[in-house]
Chain A
Amino acid sequence: AQSVTQLDSQVPVFEEAPVELRCNYSSSVSVYLFWYVQYPNQGLQLLLKYLSGSTLVKGINGFEAEFNKSQTSFHLRKPSVHISDTAEYFCAVSRSGGSYIPTFGRGTSLIVHP
């Protein structure tokens, strides 16, 4: 079985400040890792994914994440946030290869203040 823990339910930050949203996972097998963003009254949109290769993954809207196998983490970062980044962010994990049923974290609400 696999699980995902998003350590912060809410992260308030001021506009143009850097931000890190934390995600830790647990799995007995190799995994794929994902970050999704959900704006109010919308579905989820893929920000970035780690499948293999370079542990630093760049995504859309200036976000990036780093896969750390030893710490089983996949933290999301952005060097300078905008008001428009205010949204709910979900980390997800699935088994690599074969049938993948994603397991999602509970989400982190990023609130960007002017």
Chain B
Amino acid sequence: KAGVTQTPRYLIKTRGQQVTLSCSPISGHRSVSWYQQTPGQGLQFLFEYFSETQRNKGNFPGRFSGRQFSNSRSEMNVSTLELGDSALYLCASSLGQLGANNSPLHFGNGTRLTVT
């Protein structure tokens, strides 16, 4: 069974641009959650999508948005990029919604975004 796939692996953008990251979950998984990992702030929850609906949202500005398609694939968009958005962005999929204790998170290898 294929794991969680994130594309692209690396991205370099300049301030003010926007970026779209993609996440393909494990087949059959309906929940996709996104995380930002930085040396300064550690690993922080961005949002979760389940059955094409945003179910939970972390404490990030509205520049960070996402969506989920009917095949459970998810995209995350960041508009008006800032230098501080440079990070490793991880997505994780699970069979059930976050909170279901029989649904462990399976992480992708991440997209490393560098904003110059």
Contact = CB atoms under 8 A, between A and B. Distances in A.
Interface of A: 32, 36, 41-46, 49, 51, 90, 94, 96-107
Interface in B84-111: 90, 92, 97-99, 101, 104-110
A90 B37 CA distance: 12
A101 B44 CA distance: 10
Contacts of B55: 99
17 contacts: A32-B101, A36-B107, A41-B109, A42-B109, A43-B4, A43-B108, A44-B105, A46-B105, A46-B106, A97-B99, A99-B55, A99-B56, A100-B99, A101-B58, A101-B98, A103-B45, A105-B42
- Which of A36, A43, A44, A99 has the most C-beta atoms of chain B within 10 angstroms of its own C-beta? A43
A90 B43 contact: yes
Nearest to A104: B43
Contacts of B104: 46, 49
Given A44-B90, A44-B107, A99 B42 contact: no
B107 A101 contact: no
Contact of B99 (A44, A90, A98, A103): A98
B56 A101 contact: yes
Nearest to A105: B42
A17 B95 CA distance: 37
Contacts of B44: 104
Contacts of A99: 55-56, 97-99
Nearest to B108: A43
Interface string B21-56: 000000000000000000000111100100000011
B99 A106 contact: no
Contacts of A90: 43
Contacts of A41: 109
Contacts of B108: 43
Contacts of B48: 101
Contacts of B110: 42-43
Nearest to B100: A100
A104 B45 CA distance: 9
Contacts of A32: 101
